[in-house]
Amino acid sequence: MSAPLRIAIAGLGTVGVGTVRLLAEHAPTVAARCGRPIEIVAVSARDRLRNRGCDVSMATWYDDPVTMAREADADVVVELIGGSDGVARDTVLAAIGAGRHVVTANKALLAIHGVDLARAAEAQSVHLAYEAAVAGGIPIVKALREGLAGNQVRRVYGILNGTCNYILTAMGETGRDFEDVLGEAQHLGYAEADPSFDVDGIDTGHKLALLASVAFGRPVDFGAVYMEGIRRITAMDITFAEELGYRIKLLGVAEETEHGILQRVHPCMVSQGRPIAAVDGVFNAVVVEGDYVDRSMLEGRGAGAGPTASAVVADLMDLAAGRGAPTFGVPADRLVGSPAATIDTHVGAYYVRLMVVDRPGVFADIATALRDAQVSMESILQRGHDPGETVPVVMTFHRTVEAAAKRALERIARIDAVVEPPCMIRIEAF
């Protein structure tokens, strides 16, 4: 058996500790499977004295991860600090600069600086691996980069944020509203104190940008990702969706369109019969549509110590076994900056819920607004009405271009009897 792969771990939060534990517990099988042991030679974290319930006494302690990345006698630096800039980025750059491979779980860093880091890694002939950055329990980066690499991908989409999926699932099961369920999720540790990254779709956007880069061979293009979160989804919308035969999921979708690659993150209505509609709670799922494979879906836990550590260790085992691939599937210089489409060019069906004061003439006003915007209605649903009271009116629009749907909504919003901004949710045909 060859010499050990020596690794240095920066960051000992839940994922770091999970990684240390996995490597200790499964040392013999890990070594058998990748042909050599993996040895932790250095660690760095904020508080040296904290009891983390795992043994890192065999490793040299560094107070500063950047110094560790530069100086430790390691083949690989594992970056588990997080954040798109600052110390995480400095650590990764220092590791690459010192000729060490990098394994990271940091989606924000890669979504924003991915191409530069890939280029830096290639210049030093080291690998930059990040399976743990996207849907930890699902080996999706490897699947796109290797397992399905023979395909021309037409679309890749998925549930990429467990917090949002947990909240939407709980809202559906209990009939409770967003704020209420969010509070519970925060209490249970499923959501951060500042939930914005999750519930506003930013985390999903980061992950989508990485998947889209590998799938379409383009430079990571987080700036082109359209993002909309789940804050405005109400229990009422979930009930109406159910009645119409849909489930509401926050999806990240990257697809080839006639206007270029469109990357979009927003709540979607998906048919109840589709496999992705059944992915509930903190689970993630990613669907790849390719020209030869047709449709392949991978599902698993998106976060947590165990699944993320599993992904980190898989990357380490690849490095130990000498397996590698360019960061985004092809060398950075061969990524092609094909055109990016904007959300206005999206074509699809729409669910629209209005809160309307029920009085004569309202429907005529709505109909006129739709006609003027050249949008055609597929169905309309009004439940219970008390003259003079505010009631929900739900419509679905036939497939139309987003710009037209938006025009229709603007006109509808101006109708006096429509008392709240309309709630619009895109309906997906897949």
Pick from 309, 375, 408, 427: which binds a copy of itself (CB under 8 A)?
A: 309
What is the x/- site pattern for a copy of itself, positions 116-135, by CB under 8 A?
---------------x----
The token pair that represents 169 in the structure block: 């699932």
Question: Which range touches a copy of itself (CB under 8 A), out of 45-53, 122-130, 307-315, 338-346?
Answer: 307-315
Beta bridge partner(s), residue 164? none
Q: Does 428 bind a copy of itself (CB under 8 A)?
A: no
Contact 171, 181 (CB under 8 A): yes
Residues 212-251 that bind a copy of itself (CB under 8 A): 217
What is the x/- site pattern for a copy of itself, positions 145-164, by CB under 8 A?
xxxxxxxx------------
Q: Does 358 bind a copy of itself (CB under 8 A)?
A: no
User: How is residue 418 annotated by DSSP?
Assistant: B
CA neighbor of 137 nearest in space, from 324, 282, 336: 282
Cβ proximity to a copy of itself, 38 vs 250, nearer residue: 38
Q: Does 24 bind a copy of itself (CB under 8 A)?
A: no
Question: Which range touches a copy of itself (CB under 8 A), out of 78-86, 230-238, 273-281, 381-389?
Answer: 273-281
Residue ranges of the annotated binding site are 107, 192
Instruction: Give the three-state DSSP class for 261.
Output: strand
- What's the one-letter identity of residue 31? A
Using CA atoms, how far residue 234 sits from 95, 186, 395, 424, in Å, is 46, 18, 16, 11
CA neighbor of 224 nearest in space, from 268, 183, 188, 260: 260
Q: Nearest approach, Cβ of 334 to a copy of itself (angstroms)? A: 5
- What's the one-letter identity of residue 259? H
End-to-end CA distance of the chain: 48
Q: Does 52 bind a copy of itself (CB under 8 A)?
A: no
Pick from 16, 252, 267, 300: which binds a copy of itself (CB under 8 A)?
A: 300
249 is catalytic: no
Contact 333, 120 (CB under 8 A): no
Which runs of consecutive H residues, i.e. helices, occur in 217-271?
235-244
Q: Does 105 bind a copy of itself (CB under 8 A)?
A: no
Q: How far apart are CA 331 and CA 309, in angstroms?
A: 27
Cβ proximity to a copy of itself, 82 vs 147, nearer residue: 147
User: How many other C-beta atoms are found inside a 10 Å radius of the C-beta of residue 123?
Assistant: 11
Cβ proximity to a copy of itself, 270 vs 393, nearer residue: 270
Question: Which range touches a copy of itself (CB under 8 A), out of 274-282, 369-377, 383-391, 411-419?
Answer: 274-282
Residue ranges of the annotated binding site for NADPH are 107
Q: How far apart are CA 426 and CA 369, in angstroms?
A: 19
Cβ proximity to a copy of itself, 328 vs 350, nearer residue: 328
Q: How far apart are CA 7 and CA 21, in angstroms?
A: 14
Task: Please return the burial class of 28, using the count of CB atoms within 10 Å of its CB with bins 0-12, 13-18 and 19+.
Answer: exposed
Q: How far apart are CA 217 and CA 351, in angstroms?
A: 33
Q: Nearest approach, Cβ of 29 to a copy of itself (angstroms)? A: 7
Q: Does 317 bind a copy of itself (CB under 8 A)?
A: yes
Q: Nearest approach, Cβ of 204 to a copy of itself (angstroms)? A: 19
The residue with tokens 């240095």 is 8
Q: Does 30 bind a copy of itself (CB under 8 A)?
A: yes
CA neighbor of 273 nearest in space, from 244, 311, 294, 236: 244
User: How is residue 143 annotated by DSSP?
Assistant: I
The token pair that represents 335 in the structure block: 């990524």
Question: Which range touches a copy of itself (CB under 8 A), out of 27-35, 174-182, 198-206, 365-373?
Answer: 27-35
Q: Does 281 bind a copy of itself (CB under 8 A)?
A: no
Q: How far apart are CA 375 and CA 405, in angstroms?
A: 7
User: How is residue 35 annotated by DSSP?
Assistant: S
Q: Does 323 bind a copy of itself (CB under 8 A)?
A: yes
Pick from 318, 370, 373, 423: which binds a copy of itself (CB under 8 A)?
A: 318
Pick from 233, 314, 343, 425: which binds a copy of itself (CB under 8 A)?
A: 314
Residues that bind a copy of itself in the complex, under the rule CB under 8 A: 18, 22, 26, 29-30, 32-34, 131, 136-139, 142-143, 145-152, 217, 273, 275, 278-279, 290-301, 304, 306-307, 309-311, 313-314, 317-318, 321-326, 329-331, 334
Q: Which residues have a catalytic role annotated?
A: 207
